[in-house]
């Protein structure tokens, strides 16, 4: 952000306001309308799938014949949409309309009135379903055993209220009603205590289950940690054992070489020991060391061993030619004759033959022409720059000269003051 480098320019961050979300508008234009004469495609496996199923009719059993006539009936009617006069489209504006969607039944914290479908009671009495308003989704619905018990208690309470109707003029009837109310309150308190006890037991079970899960997770973590520690120690043990085995093998090899008398340290080879010992590399070179350069030109012709030596050397050693075979062909002039005399001037083979004097003179000439990479001393001495000098004064006139110089300085100073 605050960089001065050319390859990393500065960055400036600007906060901009977001555009407000516009209300939903549905606009129907004339170009969007479809031609009613055109056949509409039917999606059997999609949106129109429900049109191809027969409605399921649940007929009541034979035991309920005549019972349903005394029960209240419900009919769900379609809510009629009421348009205002201003919303009615005229003939010119029939092709388009603008609709703003806004409802009080929205999924937000501002909702206060729950939505209910319109219904109408047919017959007399109050249906039991209207008295179950305490059951809500996620709070009693879907219903379980506890909700069934609450419904049964509500039915029993309504049955007692219908059966026990006090008479204001009769004291015994009022006393019975008071006893009924007191017994009903005691039953309610007992039921409430039972509910609280069940809730406490359920909470205790949940707490035990939670503690068990915490204990299991703690045990699993401890077991996992112990397994990792054991695995690390096993690896450390194997590494130490491997190191000890390698050190043991190294020491055993040292002892074996020391027993054989092999010198492990670097030393200059002894020629006498190499010739005496049949196990030296002179007789059997080790292939792992490669080929020694001193044996590159040691070539002994096997055919020479079939003949006796012409010259008897001391100690019965025969003189074999150990030079390479190609070395004698270097001075062979056979096959080097000039074939075509009309090829132009050529060098004379005999005059340009590589002999010892020719090679020596060539070597000296190359040494003279070879550029020296070291510094060469400059034999020419640099002359100093000429420095002008004043003629000397004899010693006998030195005092007179100093007096004259002093007098001239006095006169020059006085003249400077007067000017």
Report yes or no: 69 and 122 within 8 Å, Cβ to Cβ: no
Distance, CA of 36 to CA of 39 (rounded, Å): 7
Report yes or no: 74 and 120 within 8 Å, Cβ to Cβ: yes
CB atoms within 10 A of CB 135: 14
pTM flag (> 0.85): no
Q: Which of 136, 144, 140, 138 is nearest to 115 (CA)?
A: 136
What are the pLDDT digits (tens) for 27-72?
A: 544 445 566 666 677 887 778 877 777 665 556 666 655 655 665 5
Instruction: Tell me what the pLDDT averaged over the chain comes to.
Output: 74
- Report phi then psi at 99, rounded to 5: -125, 130
Percentage of the chain beyond pLDDT 70 is 58
Q: Any idea what the Cα angle at residue 161 is, between residues 155 and 167, rounded to 5°?
A: 170
Average pLDDT over residues 359-381: 70
Model confidence at 114: pLDDT above 60: yes
């Amino acid at each position: 952000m605050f960089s001065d480098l050319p390859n990393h320019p500065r960055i400036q961050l600007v906060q901009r306001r977001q555009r407000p979300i516009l209300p939903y508008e549905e606009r129907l234009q004339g170009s969007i309308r479809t031609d009613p004469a055109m056949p509409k495609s039917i999606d059997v496996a999609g949106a129109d799938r429900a049109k191809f199923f027969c409605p399921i009719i649940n007929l009541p059993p034979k035991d309920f014949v005549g019972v349903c006539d005394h029960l209240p009936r419900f009919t769900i009617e379609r809510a009629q949409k009421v348009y205002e006069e201003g919303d009615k489209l005229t003939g010119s504006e029939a092709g388009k309309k603008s609709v703003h969607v806004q409802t009080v039944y929205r999924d937000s914290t501002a909702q206060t009135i729950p939505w209910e479908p319109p219904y109408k009671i047919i017959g007399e009495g109050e249906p039991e379903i209207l008295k179950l308003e305490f059951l809500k989704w996620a709070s009693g619905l879907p219903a379980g055993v506890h909700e069934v018990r609450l419904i049964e208690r509500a039915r029993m309470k309504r049955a007692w209220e219908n059966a026990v109707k006090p008479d204001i003029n009769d004291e015994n009837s009022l006393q019975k009603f008071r006893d009924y109310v007191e017994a009903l309150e005691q039953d309610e308190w007992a039921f409430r205590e039972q509910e609280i006890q069940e809730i406490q037991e359920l909470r205790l079970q949940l707490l035990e289950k939670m503690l068990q899960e915490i204990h299991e997770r703690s045990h699993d973590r401890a077991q996992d940690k112990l397994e990792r520690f054991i695995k690390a120690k096993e690896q450390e043990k194997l590494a130490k054992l491997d190191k000890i085995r390698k050190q043991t093998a190294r020491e055993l090899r040292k002892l074996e070489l020391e027993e054989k008398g092999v010198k492990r340290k670097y030393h200059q080879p002894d020629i006498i020991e190499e010739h005496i010992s049949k196990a030296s590399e002179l007789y059997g070179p080790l292939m792992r060391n490669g080929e020694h350069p001193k044996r590159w030109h040691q070539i002994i012709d096997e055919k020479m061993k079939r003949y006796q030596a012409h010259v008897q050397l001391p100690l019965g050693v025969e003189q074999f030619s150990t030079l390479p075979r190609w070395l004698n062909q270097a001075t062979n002039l056979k096959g080097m004759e000039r074939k075509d005399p009309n090829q132009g001037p050529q060098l004379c083979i005999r005059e340009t033959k590589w002999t010892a004097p020719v090679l020596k003179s060539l070597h000296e000439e190359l040494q003279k022409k070879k550029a020296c990479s070291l510094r060469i001393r400059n034999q020419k001495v640099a002359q100093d720059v000429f420095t002008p000098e004043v003629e000397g004064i004899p010693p006998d006139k030195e005092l007179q000269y100093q007096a004259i110089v002093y007098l001239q300085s006095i006169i020059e100073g006085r003249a400077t003051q007067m000017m």
